[in-house]
Structure 1
Amino acid sequence: MTRDIDLDDIRTSVAPPGRQTQSLSVANLDYDERRTMRAWENLLSGASDRDRARSPVRSLIRDSWHRCASGGIDAQQNEAPLRGGRDEVEHLAYLNRELLEAARRSFFTIGRLLEGTGAMLVLADGEGTLIDTVGDERTLRDGMDIHLAIGGKWTEDVVGTNGIGTALWAGEPVFVHAAEHFCAGIKAWTCAGAPVRDPFDGRIIGVVDLSGHPDIFRPHNTALVAAAAREIEKALADQQSEERTRLLEAFITSAPRYRRSDGLMIVDRHGRVIYKANLPRPIEGGFLASFSGAPARRLVELTGADSLEGLVSQLPQEFQTCHVNRLELDGDLRGAALVFPPVAAPSLVPAVNPASTRLNEARAAIVGESPALRAAVDVACRVSQSSDVTSLLIEGETGVGKELFARLLQQGSRSGTSAPFIALNCGAITRELFGSELFGHAPGAFTGASREGKPGVFELANGGVLSLDEIGEMPLDIQPFLLRVLEDRVVTRIGDSRRRPVDVRLVASTNRELKQEVEAGRFRRDLYYRISTVSIRVPPLRERGEDIVLLLDHFNQKIATRMQMEPLVFTPQALDHLMAYHWPGNVRELRNLVEKLHVLSHGGSVGLADLPGEIIRGEGDAHAPASLPATGMGTLEDAERQAIRQVLAAEDGNLSRAARRLGVSRPTLYRKLDQYGIRRGFI
């Protein structure tokens, strides 16, 4: 590879006019433009493996750079290649019409919000070719200079490291910021891309990408495009469900002589099996068993089958004896029905584990992808499927969703929803009634007791799950009796001598630190060790990063559906503040806010003016600095401004270290920089 690149010109092109190279915090990593450029230069100059190992660049980017260099990508390249003429672009749109239709609503909504922001949203197909663009007009025009426009080809193997191509390679959301791009002409851009997967088989069929000049970078850009990709996938799933129904209706209309004893298989226009029943064993247990292991395979290619004979000729040998019907919708070939002669015995269908199905459904109800949350869910699922673990302790702040984890224990059991699930909030019971609620009482056992007697929650939960919420509120004098029931698995009602066996799995939850309660003498040590055989800490929302955006989208869609209205659209500024807020009330507080905004917002758009004052001001941030260095200046704002400048200067502009030294979160520091007009390039 030639090395006649003018590096000074490249550095100038990367930094926007009036700005110098910068250091900023990117997804918990320090991005330093000068060091990144130096690592890129070393790669192009053939640096040793030792130098490469010490590279400051993220592993995702470093690996991509090496693929590009070994693949012969021209590092001096200024633009992506452009597909052919108008006819080819129109044909491309036709081939991706389902994807474009699924993205239409999201792109229309987001596109209006991006005007004036310096950002553009693009949609690429599974081959990395752009098929739609929306956003800020000026940025769209700038994008044409590098062929970031419809018809541009943005895979890694033709234009190097970038948000679209690298997301296709990695198969997950990624961002590529400024100097992290491989090709020189693209280093003046920042981008975040997220793959769009086919809901039917999970293969990647496109990429959503947010691009613009480096100033548009925000830590949650990746979460935004991931949320947009999920919206498109939901729309695709709805389209596929509707088409499946229409194809079944088309078959019923076109095949009046079909008998219920016949074997039937229906494929869509992509050759994917969308329905099957009563298939012969050689087909069901032979060919399809091997076929299902390769989800990207297609049984038959319908797009080139102009005649029935052409369609039949493409079928595998095992299908040559079946009868084939073309299925047309709106005059187009959209599928085929394959009818097999009746079989003597029903085909063998693999058994479905109802417990696993229920567990997956319950797991899906816990929204979030942060590592801490997924780890907690994994532990809960394993406990639910193990008959050896009879108790589980769930610790977490108020509002984090501990009750959802308690439900996992029930859903994963063999009895499932038929087994009882009894919940008791220990913080809502008077001291006098604790024993009666837990263990029940005999007729007339005490003043106010019912004449018939009453079973306690242990008896009611027999054979299922007992959830004791806020167990830290349980009085000390009741705790020994609870321990005895857990040890002996026998309960005796108050005022009765009869011992009643109980088979109960206990889920205890608390918003207290029970270990501290034990040390303080407010909770029995032996009971603590008995109920904490396995313990789970549900992380607070402030520790879950981009889960805030996922939950916001989840509640937005759910509440909109319930209220029969369109989902709200949040401005980028509103999202910035929502991401930076501390959320002392956790998921419950976020859900209540979304419900309130659905009632009070005007025009379906949520901006800063619609958010509560505590979110605008950043109140409730446990990481807010307790004090600031004395400066001798007149106002608190002046003191704060000066303190930030001093710390940034001391840390050479490194925002991650400056935030830690000031005792604030990175989003809070970003907000303060904007508030006081402190430009990150001039510290």
Structure 2
Amino acid sequence: MRHANGPDQMKTNALPARASMAAGQLVLDNIDYDERATMRAWESFLADEPKCARDPVHVRSLIHDSWYRSATGGINAQGIEAPLSSDRDEIEYLTRANAELLSAARRSFASLGQLLEGTGAMLVLADSDGVLIDAIGDKKTLHDGMDIHLGIGGKWNEDAVGTNGIGTALWTGEPIFVHAAEHFCAGIKSWTCAGAPIRDPLDGKIIGVVDLSGYSPIFRPHNTALVAATARQIEKALAEQQQEQRTRLLEAFISSAPSYRRKDGLVIVDHRGRAIFCNNVPNGDTTEMMDGPMEPGRGRWLMNLPASGSDTDLANALPAHLRSCHVTPLKLDGDLRGAALVFPSVPAVSSMTVIRREENKHLRTASAMIVGESEKLLAAVDVASRVAGSKGVTSLLIEGETGVGKELFARLVHAGSRRTENDPFIAMNCGAITKELFGSELFGHVAGAFTGASRDGKPGIFELANGGVLSLDEIGELPLEIQPFLLRVLEERVVHRIGDSRGRPVDVRLVASTNRDLKQEVAAGRFRSDLYYRIGAVSIHVPALRDRGDDVLLLIEHFNRQIAKLAGNDPLEFSNDALDALLAYRWPGNVRELKNLVERLHILTRGNTIELQDLPGEISAGNRNTMAMHGDHPTAMLEAPVCTFEDAERQAIKNALTAESGNLSKVALRLGISRPTLYRKLGQYGIRRGFI
């Protein structure tokens, strides 16, 4: 077994963590890197993997998690090299498939390659599968790298060789480094490497990794910063290439389509079938989707281009919802490099437009249920919407306290994922099912599978949710013994009913939600780490109501009008003191508590105005204390200069506009009047919202 050649005592961590040097040691992230201690931790991990999964060994969490993935993925910890393809045809295919990436990296590699000679370091470029497609640097290091197959054709993703700078950067999607004994395989523990993912500027997908490697003495904290900067340079070059190709495809289309009219809808796709230019394509509420950097359609995958450039093959490659458009192949230098999709401006709007409008309608309807304007909430909505529109993401983990509205986000994902009106949405609360019935509820059973089983058998919720979304609330309550079966269904997309050997394919998007800290549950051994990584690949945190600021006022207005409409009454009005108290309250029950309060006020309040004394004691008491602290006494009011009622009202509206930054909904709530009344007052006093 080869060990690292670096100093015995070093402390390391991945950027962007803060680093400092003290007494010859590198201190990062409050975790000490000690060569011997890390080797002992690795040996302990291999000796008792289940225990180490529950009680992480003394290594960085990033490394521990990768070790666990490597071990459970069947990687040989005593391995000495990565898999290597030396087949010329395969290498040639890799070169052709990654021609754009290689071209974009050429300038950066050429400038850095000259500087690396004699440094003991090498710079490598890998594709999205972790296969090396280029390598430059110190000649001796390049030669020694072939001992472990760190050369062109070597496969360095985690599934092939375990924890390493290339594969772990691909997994995490972030710049990282893996130093010496932190590698999973024994044969590469004398190396150190820092890798950074390269993302496609058009759609943000990871298309490769740039990595700096060498024997462990080359380690420096800034190695990660170097590869991250190189990755950004490559991405910039890619963006320039894509812009040039976009211009050339547009020119090719103009020269090949003289009958095209400006009022026709036009989408141009690149050689990967992604939209790179859109014009006059209806999209949601807008009549035109103008081309530009913020254009909603840019980067969206639409079709697979055939190998041949014939019109017939290209037309056959169109998805069903695009068959009504006219498609034209676009060739550059004799090769098929894109296509133009033209939607004639006739009354019969294309089926693509109709479907997109329906999809947007569903998404807007679901989004409208989530009331708020705070940055944290909108960020969560944005992630959920992107997951809904993604074809590659099959699961989402929603975390947040009880009552924050996690199910609304699950419904948002369902709305954005819908392909037909009948796509199901199935929800189950794991905390409401007895331990004995979990298997039957999730997977179903055949007739007579167990005592009490249905005579005709029963499908489980996975089958019921086929083609749609399955929402599992309180996923942390799932019994430990059921979790492997759930993981198997998610991985294989096949469900087996209890008592049945026949598998049933299912196409289900899982949305799991929890109010627990699942990382702590994994550490405590109550939740499987492999299932956590599977369902938590993409996660969102729904903020607590106390962290959403003035969203409280928007929610009060929303529930107030909603409940009033159902009861056939006028909405309640809230005094300033009452609104201040509601804003100051901490809302331990979150949105659910607020809605229940508004319902209670509608039922119990005799008048139509809510005063401070109408609120529950725990809410009103907090505001009285605030008023006392600020010295709001009647005597102070008596000393104010006398003015007319109209002057006072005008000034109150101006003050509210200033306090709420011109948001009329919040201003109306703060003043305790309806929005129509506020509009009338603004006109009466000649106040413009933009005066502030």
The bucket for the TM-score relative to the shorter chain is 0.3 to 0.5
TM-score of the pair, normalised by structure 1: 0.47
TM-score of the pair, normalised by structure 2: 0.47
Q: Tell me which of the two structures has the higher relative contact order, counting C-alpha pairs closer than 8 angstroms and 6 or more residues apart.
A: 1
